[in-house]
A = this chain, B = another copy of it.
Amino acid sequence: MNETDFIAALRKLPLHPGARGLADDTAVLEIGGETLVITHDAMVEGRHWLPGQDMADVAWKLVATNLSDLAAKGAEPLGVLIGHVLGEGDERFLAGLHDALADYGTGLLGGDTVSSDGPRALGLTAIGRATHVPVPSRSGAQIGDALYITGKLGAAMLGFEALRDGTGAGTTAYTRPLARLSEGQALAPQVSAMMDISDGLLLDAFRMAGASEVSLAIDSKSVPVAAPDRLLDCLKWGDDYELLFSLPADANPPIPATCIGKVEPQGFAPLFLDGEPIANPQGLGYVHE
């Protein structure tokens, strides 16, 4: 079964009311007057990390990608559970896990450790506390809003290429991405919609437009990129974990961010790039095996 069909089938199962779109979004759980945000992301050997890559970086990224999901909800991390498959580089994995937990000021809550042969799939569940309710979602963008991103796109792409090709250029943006936790918390009370850019700006904007039932118009030249000569690659490449959000047109973001477009009535395509409609998500996101 392919992933799309599997996720469609999951949506027909008994769902928790806080199961927002399953794999597309992050679960929200109200309990005792608080709102928890819970996410589970997995990484697969040979697919989400390069063979021979330092397992300390893999552990870091596993934490950072999950915490980035919390950041997009304005949540502060409470703890993580790991689903670990033992194998090569476990000492380095532990070292990277230590770095990430210490750096983000969160702690290990539990998990499970198993043995298996073949390529490993490592999972992590992160639990956070929402600092603002309602929790931002990707479905709230309003017509007339301005569209913003934090940071610069394409840095992870350059890091990946440097690592793959051994050029000696900086790889940190790819190996040790940062979850925008403080930015997400500052933005949560103001945004109409927010998500993290894990699969590339274009693909993730396409998803936000669909969830919000609007069209998003992006001006490519306004997007800060790490490689201006490869603009489209930067817009398609994932792994930067910046935040994409919409704000009322007259609002100013409370953190450094760049306006890259606007929210328009739902047109005949969910996404317009420099006025050109993009109707099909196929090929929008960079697949980095």
CB distance from A254 to the nearest CB of B (A): 26
A150 lies within 8 A of chain B by Cβ: no
Cα(A17)–Cα(B79), bound, Å: 9
Minimal Cβ-Cβ distance residue in B for A102:
B14
Determine how many copies of this chain the complex contains: 2
A228 lies within 8 A of chain B by Cβ: no
Contact A112 B107 (CB under 8 A): no
Contact A108 B16 (CB under 8 A): yes
Contact A83 B27 (CB under 8 A): no
Contact A29 B127 (CB under 8 A): yes
Contact A110 B13 (CB under 8 A): no
Q: Hey, which chain B residues are within 8 Å of A32, CB to CB?
A: 31-34
Contact with B along A109-122 (1 / 0, CB 8 A): 11111111111110
Binds B, one of A86-94, A140-148, A266-274, A276-284: A86-94
A68 lies within 8 A of chain B by Cβ: no
Contact A38 B101 (CB under 8 A): no
A41 lies within 8 A of chain B by Cβ: yes
Contact B27 A110 (CB under 8 A): yes
A97 lies within 8 A of chain B by Cβ: yes
Contact A3 B106 (CB under 8 A): no
Chain A, range 65-102, C-beta contacts under 8 Å to B: 78-79, 81-86, 90-91, 94, 97-98, 101-102
The residue from B10, B102, B119 contacting A116, defined by CB atoms under 8 A apart: B119
A-B contact pairs, 13 of them (CB 8 A): A1-B90, A7-B113, A14-B106, A15-B109, A22-B111, A29-B127, A31-B78, A34-B34, A38-B110, A44-B114, A44-B116, A117-B119, A120-B121
Contacts A6-B113, A14-B108, A42-B85 known; 18 new A-B pairs at CB < 8 A: A6-B86, A10-B111, A13-B94, A13-B97, A14-B107, A18-B79, A19-B108, A19-B109, A29-B79, A34-B34, A39-B81, A40-B83, A44-B85, A45-B116, A83-B123, A116-B118, A117-B118, A120-B121
